[in-house]
């Protein structure tokens, strides 16, 4: 019986027909990406009901599985690997990183420990050096690879909390959090939602969080900065999710370092500014912080999920995230689980390594500059149509409004239904706005023009509706 099972499951590995089939579907998808609607069509969305079926009692043919996924799944994706997806801050995927993902998915490595995958360990170690170099961080900085910036901030803030408590004579490892001295967190009132989530998981409640007054672009007001001390975590942001604005790291880090406070920078998509000569001024001083979170799956255009956590203190990092067990064999080489909350993990370093090797430092700078230039072009063209650009487009985020909240809502409704591109709503300073995040390597000038035409039709539709 067991032999039959082995025979039937391993057959496709020998014959490779289902891999050929998957490859064919993937190529169909790739070939259609620039001409398709960005958001699924209504008639395609109906196909999603095909997934709701009772638990299969017997197995299904591999070809049927792949075919069902391609027929019902492919058209119901968001075309975010194309050039006209501007929703959230998602980023596309460089072709080489997808190809590397395909190959390394076949390896199916667990990057938990060096002994579990020497190649994953070595490539992760190489990426650490490259990333530290790219961002110009202190040479001793350690890196962990996680699912995204949410996880990265959670890891970094865990290290921050534990280290601050230890420095203040409290052993959290022995005593736990109950009865620990208070920690204060200072951040902008516009800090990202995931930061508040991480703090809440870490037992830092709203009473311990000081939301400092922000400038109109969402960055911290230097003149309103609350007192910092050795029990403070100052959380800064490289790239506000609405305006794309950057905190004044140089000055803020100096102030924090004078007081021995911990500085964490949430640089999910913005930290990459440091790699470009033209935009490095935005990230000036980031190297003076203590920890950082950043995503490769955003600005660097690596496939999901590839978050990066960085911390200046390797020992504290590993201590805070340590797990021990009789069967856990630390090697003294690269043991990836020491830098994350997870144990078993997909080996994310392969795609990160491929992106950096493919682009090189210069190519990464060009990618960042291209995204920023596209954002400026987009903003300029939309302004010509009559949109108000609500932010100073310093990076890749464009925030627009058309006349008032109601008209903006209608234009957005039209554009979303038009499906030429996709972008989402946001609230900015109490007003409804449309947010465009220009994050994909694949966006061309033609893409921007197609999108501008869609916005133009959106205005005409809205005006007509207003007259009727
Ligand atoms: C500034 C900032 N921080 C954190 C996050 C969360 O990142 P992730 O979705 O990778 O967890 C985002 C997501 O867009 C972000 O823009």
Distance CA 299, CA 188 (A): 23
Q: Say yes or no: CB of residue 294 within 6 Å of ligand 1.
A: no
62-100: pLDDT as tens digits:
999 999 999 999 999 999 999 999 999 999 999 999 999
Same domain, 224 and 168: yes
Verify that 246 and 338 share a domain, yes or no: yes
316 and 290 within one domain: yes
Token reading at 122: 């070595």
Sheet containing 232-237: order of strands: 142-146, 307-311, 291-295, 262-266, 232-237, 184-188, 209-212
Is there a single domain that holds both residue 328 and residue 449? no
Domain boundary among 337, 356, 375: 356
Does pLDDT of 3 surpass 90?
no
246 lines ligand 1 (CB under 6 A): no
| pLDDT tens readout for residues 189-208 | 999 999 999 999 999 999 99
The pLDDT score that the predictor gives to residue 90 is: 92
For residue 133, is pLDDT > 60?
yes
What pLDDT does residue 467 have? 64
Smallest CA separation from ligand 1 atom 15, residue:
268
Indicate the number of domains in the chain.
3
- HSE-CB of 342 using CA atoms within 13 angstroms: 18
Decide if pLDDT at 417 tops 80: yes
Atom index in ligand 1 nearest the CA of residue 238 equals 1
In a domain, 81, yes or no: no
Q: How far is the CA of 387 from the centre of ligand 1 (A)?
A: 27
Task: Say yes or no to pLDDT of 1 above 70.
Answer: no
Residue 94, domain member (yes or no)? no
The answer to whether residue 63 is domain-embedded is yes
- Domain check: are 408 and 456 in the same one? yes
Range(s) of the domain holding residue 463: 360-467
| pLDDT of res. 13 | 85
What global pTM score does this model have? 0.96
Nearest CA to ligand 1 atom 14: 89
Phi, psi of 243 (to 5 degrees): -95, -15
The proportion of the chain whose per-residue pLDDT surpasses 70, expressed as a percent, equals: 99
Does residue 154 sit within a domain? yes
Model pLDDT, residue 465: 79
Q: How confident is the model at residue 2 (pLDDT cuts 50, 70, 90)?
A: low
Q: What percent of the chain has pLDDT over 90?
A: 94
Q: Ligand 1: does its nearest atom lie under 6 Å from the Cβ of 89?
A: yes
Q: Is residue 83 part of a domain?
A: no
* Ligand 1 centroid from CA 367, angstroms: 19
> Which of 86, 145, 150 maximizes ligand 1 atoms within 8 Å of its Cβ, making it the mutation to test the pocket?
150
Q: Answer yes or no: do 349 and 390 share one domain.
A: no
- Identify the H or E element spanning 266: strand 262-266
Asked if residue 241 has its Cβ within 6 Å of ligand 1, the reply is yes
Flag whether 88 is in a domain. Answer: no
Pocket test for ligand 1, best of 192, 272, 341 (most atoms within 8 A of CB): 192
Cα–Cα distances in angstroms (integers) from residue 337 to residues 302, 342, 350, 414, in the given order: 21, 6, 16, 47
Give me ligand 1 centre to Cα 304, in Å: 12
> Ligand 1 pocket, 282 CB below 6 A?
no
Calculate how far, in angstroms, residue 181's C-alpha sits from the geometric centre of ligand 1.
Answer: 30
Residue of minimum CA distance from atom 7 in ligand 1: 149
**Ligand 1 geometric centre to CA of 242 (Å):** 12
* pLDDT score, position 136: 98
Dihedral angle of Cα 256, 186, 222, 281, to the nearest 10 degrees: 70
Q: Indicate whether 309 and 346 sit together in one domain.
A: yes
Are 303 and 373 within one domain?
no
247 lines ligand 1 (CB under 6 A): no
Classify the C-alpha dihedral 39-42-43-46 as positive or negative: positive
Whether 266 is in the pocket of ligand 1, judged by its Cβ within 6 Å, is yes
Nearest CA to ligand 1 atom 3: 268
- pLDDT of 468 > 80? The answer is no
Task: Give the CA angle between residues 37, 43, 46 to the nearest 5°.
Answer: 120
- Same domain? For 165 and 185 the reply is yes
236 & 329 share domain: yes
**CA–CA separation, 371 vs 66, rounded Å?**
35
Answer yes or no: is the C-beta of 150 below 6 A from any ligand 1 atom.
yes
Are residue 150 and residue 253 in the same domain, yes or no? yes
Q: In this structure, are 422 and 347 located in the same domain?
A: no
Question: Ligand 1 centre and the CA of 296: distance in Å?
Answer: 11
For residue 211, the domain's CATH number is: 3.40.640.10
Asked if residue 194 has its Cβ within 6 Å of ligand 1, the reply is yes
Asked whether residue 442 is domain-assigned, the answer is yes
| CA pseudo-torsion sign 229, 152, 140, 334 | positive
Distances (CA, A) of 98 to 105, 179, 297, 303: 10, 48, 12, 7
In a domain, 29, yes or no: yes
Which band of pLDDT confidence, cut at 50, 70 and 90, is reported for residue 12? confident
Q: Which atom of ligand 1 is least distant from the CA of 240? A: 1
**Region 252-272: what's the mean pLDDT?**
98
């Amino acid at each position: 019986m067991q032999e039959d099972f082995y025979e039937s499951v391993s057959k496709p590995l020998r014959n490779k027909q289902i891999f050929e089939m998957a490859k064919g579907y993937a190529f169909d998808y790739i070939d259609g990406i620039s001409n398709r609607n960005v958001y699924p069509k209504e008639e395609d969305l109906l196909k999603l009901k095909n997934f709701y079926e009772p638990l299969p009692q017997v197995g299904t043919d591999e070809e049927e599985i792949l075919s069902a996924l391609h027929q019902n799944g492919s058209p119901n994706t968001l075309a975010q690997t194309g050039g006209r997806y501007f929703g959230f801050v998602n980023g596309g995927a460089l072709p080489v990183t997808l190809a590397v993902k395909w190959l390394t998915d076949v390896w199916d490595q667990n990057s938990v420990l060096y002994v579990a995958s020497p190649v994953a360990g070595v490539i992760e170690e190489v990426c650490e050096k490259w990333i530290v170099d790219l961002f110009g961080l202190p040479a001793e900085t350690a890196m962990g690879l996680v699912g995204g910036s949410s996880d990265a901030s959670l890891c970094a803030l865990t290290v921050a909390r534990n280290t601050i408590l230890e420095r203040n004579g409290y052993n959290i490892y022995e005593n736990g959090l109950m009865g620990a001295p208070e920690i204060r967190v200072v951040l902008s009132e516009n800090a990202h939602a995931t930061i508040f989530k991480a703090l809440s998981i870490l037992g830092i409640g709203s009473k311990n969080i000081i939301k400092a007054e922000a400038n109109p672009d969402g960055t911290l007001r230097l003149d309103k900065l609350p007192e910092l001390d050795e029990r403070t975590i100052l959380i800064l942001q490289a790239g506000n999710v609405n305006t794309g604005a950057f905190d004044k790291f140089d000055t803020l880090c100096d102030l924090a370092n004078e007081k021995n406070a911990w500085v964490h920078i949430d640089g999910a998509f913005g930290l990459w500014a440091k790699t470009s000569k033209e935009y490095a001024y935005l990230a000036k001083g980031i190297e003076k912080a203590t920890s950082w979170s950043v995503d490769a799956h955003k600005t660097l255009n690596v496939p999901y999920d590839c978050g990066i956590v960085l911390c200046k203190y390797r020992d504290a990092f590993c201590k805070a995230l340590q797990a021990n067990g009789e069967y856990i064999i630390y090697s003294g080489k690269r043991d990836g689980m020491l830098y994350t909350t997870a144990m078993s993990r997909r080996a994310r370093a392969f795609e990160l390594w491929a992106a950096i090797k493919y682009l090189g430092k210069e190519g990464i700078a060009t990618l960042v500059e291209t995204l920023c230039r596209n954002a400026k072009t987009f903003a300029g063209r939309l302004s010509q149509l009559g949109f108000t650009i609500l932010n100073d487009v310093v990076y890749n985020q464009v925030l627009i409004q058309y006349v008032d909240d109601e008209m903006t809502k209608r234009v957005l409704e039209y554009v979303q239904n038009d499906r030429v591109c996709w972008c989402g709503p946001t609230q900015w300073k109490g007003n409804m706005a449309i947010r465009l995040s220009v994050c994909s390597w694949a966006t061309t000038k033609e893409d921007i023009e197609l999108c501008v035409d869609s916005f133009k039709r959106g205005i005409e539709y809205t005006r007509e509706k207003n007259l009727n």
